[in-house]
């Protein structure tokens, strides 16, 4: 029997990678989809995006524990939580303040949403899809905070799968280098872009829709015996 009538929450779902996944879930029969953006500008963009016309768009800073609990506590049910809210690497990764901010958003923010959603997901026998990264597996000289946060997400994923099974399945996807507004500086840098493509057997940058089949699989009953795993969707980057 196909999944239907489920409720999805996608943090960071107003655009980019999370937006592609939220849009795909919106097409599921009877689905209720809630997406969040960290700023009013992100919320406005999400509400104007035709792909998200069926979704409810809310303002949420995942660093705010009370706000996370309030939003999730307002839901009558929850079947799938997707933690896509996050920030990319930057020179600030090399400062104590920047390092702490990235950890608080990417890792602590993911944990906050998971903890707040536990009871609802337990009631629905639902599942969580976290956002890791290829940098969960490898360090990076340009983003130590980003790599540390995403490595933490991968271990958080496996730990929650152990701690919350069999009631809640917890998995992650690990995107490779994706063509989004957050990566335009890399794409526009001919030297760095060539280096990335030389290590990507698929021979191209990924696009947000490349994540959709994997996310749909992990959110479905077809993956009922899959938990605690991080699925790379990277064009083969990690093989080189």
Active site residues: 146
The secondary element (H helix, E strand) that includes residue 56 is strand 56-59
Angle in degrees, CA 28, 212, 139, rounded to 5: 145
Which backbone phi and psi does 232 adopt, to 5 degrees? -70, 135
Q: Are 149 and 107 in contact (CB under 8 A)?
A: yes
Long-range (24+ apart) CB contacts under 8 A made by 134-137 are 134/174, 134/175, 134/176, 134/177, 134/232, 134/234, 134/237, 134/238, 135/89, 136/172, 136/174, 136/230, 137/174, 137/232, 137/238
């Amino acid at each position: 029997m196909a999944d239907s009538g489920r409720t999805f929450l996608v943090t960071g779902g107003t655009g980019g990678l999370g937006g592609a996944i939220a849009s795909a879930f919106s097409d599921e029969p009877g689905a209720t989809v809630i997406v969040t953006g960290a700023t009013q500008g992100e919320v406005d963009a999400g509400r104007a995006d035709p792909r998200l016309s069926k979704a409810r768009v809310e303002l949420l800073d995942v660093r705010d524990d009370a706000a996370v609990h309030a939003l999730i506590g307002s839901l009558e049910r929850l079947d799938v939580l997707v933690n896509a809210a996050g920030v990319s690497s930057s020179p600030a990764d090399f400062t104590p303040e920047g390092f702490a901010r990235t950890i608080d958003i990417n890792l602590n923010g993911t944990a906050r949403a998971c903890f707040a959603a536990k009871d609802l997901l337990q009631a629905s026998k639902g599942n969580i899809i976290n956002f890791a990264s290829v940098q969960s597996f490898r360090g990076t000289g340009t983003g130590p905070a980003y790599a540390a946060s995403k490595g933490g997400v991968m271990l958080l994923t496996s730990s929650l799968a152990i701690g919350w099974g069999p009631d809640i399945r917890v998995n992650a996807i690990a995107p490779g280098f994706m063509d989004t507004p957050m990566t335009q500086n890399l794409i526009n840098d001919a030297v760095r872009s060539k280096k990335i493509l030389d290590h990507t057997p698929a021979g191209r940058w990924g696009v947000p829709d490349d994540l959709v089949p994997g996310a749909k699989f992990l959110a479905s009953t077809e993956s009922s015996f899959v938990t605690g795993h991080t699925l790379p969707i990277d064009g083969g980057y990690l093989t080189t």
